[in-house]
Amino acid sequence: MATSSDFETPAEAPDNGSAQRNDSGPQRTPEGLESYGMLYGASPAMLELFEQIERVAATDATVLIVGESGTGKELIARTIHDRSRRHDQPFVAVNCGAIPDNLIEAELFGHERGSFTGAVQGRAGYFEHANGGTLFLDEVTEMMPVRQVKLLRALETGTFYRVGGTELLHSDVRVIAATNRDPASAVKENGLREDLMYRLAVFPLRAPPLREREGDRELLAQHFLAELNTREGTNKVFSKRARETLRTYSWPGNVRELKNSIYRAFILAEKTVEIEHPRLAARSKKAVTQGDAMSIWVGTPLAEAQRQIILGTLKHCGGDKRRTAKALGVSLKTLYNRLGAYEDEDDAPSAGNA
């Protein structure tokens, strides 16, 4: 599964809902993949996902997408939007975890002039911007429970107040939410209100990780290479070793990691593409984790050691960024900045397709 940057350029995956609705079923690509809207796959897990999307897209049901980073939760949301009756209306994507806690309500519902320090003029929020269309709330479990009350009310009534406002506003919005955490675990750890979870998960969807998509990684790799060859007017091919890597490496970063690795290798190759990725090269020098302890290899560069500690702690905390920040003794904003920097480093050679 991929994100919008995994298969399409920004011009081909617009944020404003301008994509034409596609009511046809999956189409076969030359590489043997099924192309369904903005999604690609041929594995049983993906074909089942296509069928579920087809059913829920015809409704206005709220959807909760659960999946690891890089599995394409936003792309699934876009595909649902593009195949719904709202396809010609706005698609607005919001990363709830990246918005400071004290500003999340104003961002979602808007605010009136003077409602808080810095509010020099009134402004509409994302619910108003998405009126008639779809509002995608990514990392919804990163929103503080006290802030989730207004979101729950807006979902149940379709009405809300701007921060500092007295006029009851209405917005016809279809909400799709996503998280990389297990919703039930998030509820137990007080990261997600149980009533909000049930309201969001009217129709739950799971974005399968690449390791569970039997046969897809080789087909996707060939598809990405074919696109690059067409764009650049080349005829590059994978080496035997590269094909073996595609089959055997677990690709923990999922489709995002797969595509960026191929793009990087394509740039470096003359005719034969070799898969060279920092994670692949450093596999034998990865940190060793045992329970709550982590061992870093002597000679590991300081920046890489810090990266391994942060990512290892995030994994140990089950993807809960708030718990991770607390364990590391840093602010949530600092953690997001660091994780964003790591993603930018991984994506650097393919920035044009981000």
Quote the DSSP letter at residue 214: T
What is the C-alpha to C-alpha distance for residues 96 and 147, in angstroms, rounded to an integer? 11
CA dist 102 to 12, 109, 143, 304, Å? 34, 13, 10, 33
pLDDT of residue 318: 87
pLDDT tens digits along 241-294:
899 889 888 888 999 999 999 999 999 999 999 986 545 555 445 666 667 788
d(CA 57, CA 102): 33
Closest CA to 1 of 75, 78, 51, 65: 75
Is it the case that residue 91 has pLDDT exceeding 60? yes
Q: Which residue reads 């944020």 in tokens?
A: 15
CATH 1.10.8.60 fits 211-281, yes or no: yes
User: Is 4-208's fold the same as 287-348's?
Assistant: no
Q: The domain 4-208: what is its CATH number? A: 3.40.50.300
Between CA 200 and CA 65 the distance in angstroms is 9
Contact 272, 19 (CB under 8 A): no
For the chain, the structural domain boundaries read 4-208, 211-281, 287-348
Give me the pLDDT at residue 285, please. 57
User: Rounded to an integer, what distance in angstroms lies between the CA atom of residue 6 and that of residue 252?
Assistant: 15
Using a pLDDT cut of 90, give the percent of the chain over it.
57
DSSP conformation class of 16 = S
Provide the token pair at 310.
Answer: 């942060």
CA proximity to 332, closest of 141, 127, 66: 141
28-37 pLDDT tens trace? 877 788 888 8
From the list 220, 223, 228, the residue with the least C-alpha distance to 266 is 228
pLDDT digits (tens, 9 = 90+) for 216-232: 999 999 999 999 999 99
Contact of 174 with 134, CB cutoff 8 Å: yes
347 pLDDT higher than 80? no
Contact criterion met (CB below 8 Å) for 217 and 209? no
pTM of the predicted model, to two decimals? 0.72
Confidence of residue 171 (pLDDT cuts 50, 70, 90): very high
110 close to 166: Cβ distance less than 8 angstroms: no
In the 8-state DSSP scheme, what is residue 247? H
Contact in structure between 127 and 171 (CB atoms under 8 Å): yes
Calculate helix-pair angle for 302-316, 332-347, nearest 10 degrees: 120
Has domain 287-348 been given CATH number 1.10.10.60? yes
- Minimal CA–CA distance to 130: which of 12, 3, 11, 16? 16
d(CA 159, CA 38): 32
Pairwise pLDDT comparison (119 vs 179), residue with the higher score: 179
Higher-scoring residue by pLDDT: 282, 184: 184
| CA distance readout (Å), 230 to 227, 273, 314, 348 | 5, 15, 39, 22
- Residue 54 has a pLDDT of 96
